[in-house]
Amino acid sequence: MHMATPSTRRPTQVTEERETRASERSCVGCRRASSPHDLVRIVAGADGRVALDPKASRGGRGAWVHPARACVEAMVKRHAAERTLKVDVQRDLDAGAILAALRDGLRRKVLSLLVVSSRTRTMALGAEAVAASLERERVPAVVVARDAGSVALSLAEEGSDGGTRVLRHATKAELGSVFHRGEVALVAILDTRIAAELAVTIDRLAALED
């Protein structure tokens, strides 16, 4: 007689898998399930118009979409957000405007993370300070201005052998304005959690700017 093979999964593992599936949301663009952390919430405003809810804080029915050009364009083309939100189809819904709003939100998030890192003194600014940090400790990430010279980029990439993420973002003048300096080409992010969130945000922004 055939005996059923007992499951090797622990009860806690089964519970965790169920909780993970329950917390996932489906992107209305590509229809793939993802964690809400990887999606952006869409809601209907008081006027019934589709609007972004980047903090996922508004009440009522919501739709979810990946912050990616292909998913946003598919959502708009198929009017998937309106169907999910049960509002009238919006023929004038503009994928370009939604993508622009997403880019603006991501830029603000990058700025906020840089400011937090500065206030908590978990960063090093400029080539000398970054080089010193790379020599004495593991640096989770280095932000390099897009118009930084080859010397600055080479310095940042030297740390990549030790696991340092090299993130290209903004111009030297734009980075400098964050820290009330003239120009900043290099910023070492020393806090692991801030570095991880910054990397995800800059990667998403870069994908939308392609």
In three state form, how does the secondary structure of 29-56 look? CCCCEECHHHCEEEEECCCCCEEEECCC
Contact 47, 37 (CB under 8 A): no
Residues in the chain: 210
3-state secondary structure string across 144-204: ECCCCCHHHHHHHHHHHHHCCEEEECCCHHHHHHHCCCCCCCEEEECCHHHHHHHHHHHHH
Which amino acid would we find at residue 106? L
Over the chain, what is the mean pLDDT?
Answer: 89
- In this prediction, the residues of the chain whose per-residue pLDDT falls under 70 are 1-22, 210
- pLDDT score for 11: 54
Give, for 63, the enclosing helix (H) or strand (E).
strand 63-65
Coil vs helix vs strand at 59: coil
Confidence (pTM): 0.81
Domain ranges of the chain: 11-98, 105-209
Condensed to tens digits (0 to 9), the pLDDT of residues 144-188 reads 999 999 999 999 888 777 789 999 999 999 999 999 999 999 999
Which residue in 130, 77, 133, 103 sits closest to 208, CA to CA? 103
Q: Collapsing DSSP states into helix, strand and coil, what is residue 132?
A: helix
Residues 89 and 76 sit within 8 Å (Cβ to Cβ): no
> Which class does domain 105-209 fall in?
alpha beta
Domain 11-98 homologous superfamily, CATH: YlxR-like (3.30.1230.10)
